[in-house]
Chain A
Amino acid sequence: MELDDLRRQWQQPEAAPPPLTPDQLTALLSQRSNGLVDKMRRNARYEVLFTAVVAMAMPILLPFAHNFLQRAQAMSLLLLALLMLGYYYRKLALLHRMAEPAGHVRGSLQQLGAGLRGLLQFNYRLTLAMVPASLLLIYGVTVGGELLRPGGARLKLLLILGLALLATGLLLHWAAAKATRWYLQRLYGQHLDRLEGLLRELDEAGE
């Protein structure tokens, strides 16, 4: 049997499915999408909400800080929250572009693949940047505390701490790079591999 034989049967009129009533349709449209991009968008929105709450809470809490350390922590959190909001803005814009379904199949596969790869790189860089940023923050707060110390800063202590943080940073950077790559590959890598495989398959026809 050939595909042409099946085509004749496929095109035979079949029993029309019962029409969806507007109420059924409204109920259907109210349900959540289970697509990965939609899930990522939903998660990103929750993260934006949480980060925005942190960003708004910090200026309110700042006047209640008793000492330099608490003020520095509040300011650091505020700065971090603002940076993260910028990151989420870019992430949501990218996800929005990825969610466009009306283009042709090849273009849609390309866009999804490129978007997912961009997000992976984005998340990877962000996670790796967190290590030196956190260590610099710790060091900065310690240096600030020492400079304000009544007896003067203990330079030897700061030097030892600086070297210790540098060594820790290198070790953490190596570990974070390995762990992040593994985690992202596990989370999204299989989807990306599948998309790129489908795209290759579609392009094969032209070879």
Chain B
Amino acid sequence: MDVAAPPPDFVTMLHQQQGLLRRVCRLYCHDADDRQDLFQEMVLQLWRAYPRYVPQPGAKLSTWLYRIALNVAISNLRQRSRRPAANELDAEALAVAQAADTGPDAEDRAALYQAIARLSDVDKAFVLLYLEDRSYEEMADILGITQNNVRVKMHRIQEKLRQLFARC
């Protein structure tokens, strides 16, 4: 399929926000090929949606980006399974943590990454937005539920993570 060269504003936006997309891929995919596939799919969907993007007063560009990135990651019905096997998870979680830091808490972080990897795709979306320091208001806007429900769900996820972390 031939496409016209993307306009400079799209290229600039993508360059500025590439880190955000890569972080979503990092949380959802444990395999480098899958991460690249997911990144490509996100960029494609952003490109398609970009002509219809109209900045609203008070609305953040990041909200639009997270929505598309998470919709692709969660519900795009991609054919390849991105859910790794349990032993693959252990190795990947350790690799992620070790690559990220070698500090005194490296093993704990690896265990926490491992626990996060065991969450459902929906729960991972909450964790991602929490790690990204999004407000409950923005999380609610991205996910399409009320702020109160975000609060309840976050509380449950943190409980779940504590239990998973204890088992790791």
Contact = CB atoms under 8 A, between A and B. Distances in A.
Contacts of B125: 105
A103 B131 contact: no
Contact of B43 (A29, A201, A203): A29
Q: Please classify the interface of chain A as helix (H, G, I), strand (E, B), loop, or mixed, using the class held by over half of its residues.
A: helix
A19 B76 CA distance: 25
Contacts of B74: 105, 109, 198
Interface in B1-33: 1-3, 5-6, 11, 14-15, 18-19, 22-23
A149 interface: no
What's the interface size class on B, roughly? Answer: 35 or more
A107 B74 CA distance: 13
B82 to A, nearest CB: 12
A35 B149 contact: no
A160 interface: no
A25 B108 contact: no
Nearest to A13: B19
Nearest to B8: A22
Given A17-B18, A25-B14, A202-B145, A36 B77 contact: yes
B77 A205 contact: no
Given A19-B18, A29-B6, A34-B80, A103 B41 contact: no
A20 to B, nearest CB: 7
Given A17-B19, A29-B3, A31-B40, A104 B79 contact: no
Contacts of A100: 49
A92 to B, nearest CB: 15
A37 B45 CA distance: 12
Contact of A16 (B19, B23, B120): B19
Contacts of A67: none
Given A26-B3, A29-B47, A6 B109 contact: yes
Given A19-B15, A20-B14, A26-B5, A198 B75 contact: yes
A105 B143 contact: yes
Given A195-B75, A205-B145, A25 B11 contact: yes
A203 B143 CA distance: 11
Interface in A23-68: 25-26, 28-37, 39
A113 B122 CA distance: 15
B67 A5 contact: no
Interface in B146-168: 146, 149-150, 152-153, 156, 158, 161-162, 165
24 contacts: A1-B108, A2-B162, A9-B109, A11-B131, A11-B133, A17-B19, A25-B43, A30-B2, A31-B40, A31-B44, A32-B1, A33-B41, A35-B77, A102-B53, A103-B71, A105-B70, A105-B143, A108-B67, A195-B77, A198-B120, A202-B122, A204-B153, A205-B145, A205-B152
Given A3-B112, A29-B47, 14 more contacts: A5-B108, A9-B101, A25-B43, A26-B6, A30-B2, A39-B79, A100-B49, A102-B68, A105-B71, A105-B74, A105-B125, A106-B143, A107-B144, A198-B120
